[in-house]
Structure 1
Amino acid sequence: MTPVMTAEELNEFMREVFQQVAEDFNVDHVGEGEVTMRLITSDRHLRPGGTISGPSMFGLADVAAYLVTLSQIGPQALAVTTNCSIDFMRKPQAGVPLIAKARLLKLGKQLSVTDVLLFSEGTEAPVARASLTYAIPPRSMG
């Protein structure tokens, strides 16, 4: 699976289409069927107890699955999440970026299936694992 979008193209796409959250995320690497990216955490991503919140972790996993799909099919703003299952395994570190390693397991004409591991930057053990399915809109016949 050779990517059709680079890390910079994905970052630019996020800035153009999702201005409201684009500055929270950065794509670091795009490979064959994989994307590594980060959530640049701040106080607004924390929950009581000083750890990164579940919704913030879900958001990173969701964006990573979306972008690894787009890296293979090109800019499709209307691709949407149809399913997500996430396991929260360890308490993520506050004050450091959260890293997502997304791997495309299957890419079809209508659906993509992705596995995402989340890590606190600088640690080897994942803090969460997610499985996501995206619906891919049909290409227009224009």
Structure 2
Amino acid sequence: MPPRSSSPTRILDALRRAGLPGTAAQVAVLDYLRRAEHGHFSAEEIHRRIAADGDRMNLSTTYRVLNQLVEAGFVANVPLGKHHSLYELNTGRAHDHLVCVVCGRVEEFSDPTIDHRRVVIAKKFGLHLVGKTLALQGVCGECAARVHPARPRVK
């Protein structure tokens, strides 16, 4: 993973050290995620924001580059269903996600009990863990309050 303070030149060097060609599209996607500081973005949103910065790239290239960056360990993929994922810069800090299915807000959390249970379950089934993803989906408190606002109690 490139340091947050890295320039496009340093990003290019990191990509090449990882065995990637360091295409303009790879640099643009990684640079955008680095500059975004923190966040979870769909491929479409990444594509739109890079285009807004003036870089030309088609959406299929954005998907292909994201897959390459995930494989190389620069980017983490947060799967949210059969055909939907969010992407974030891989900071190396293990965490899971809470996702609101109404507004799309994503919160990160870590829980040592969950991490321990993953290891126990994998061992029980003879699975050598090479990665992990957990995204709990539900309705956040703000969205729930909009759908079912609190009613004043009648005395």
TM-score by length of 1: 0.30
TM-score by length of 2: 0.28
Task: Point out which structure has higher relative CO (alpha carbons under 8 A, 6+ apart).
Answer: 1
Larger Rg: 2
- Is the strand fraction higher in 1 or 2? 1
- Is the helix fraction higher in 1 or 2? 2
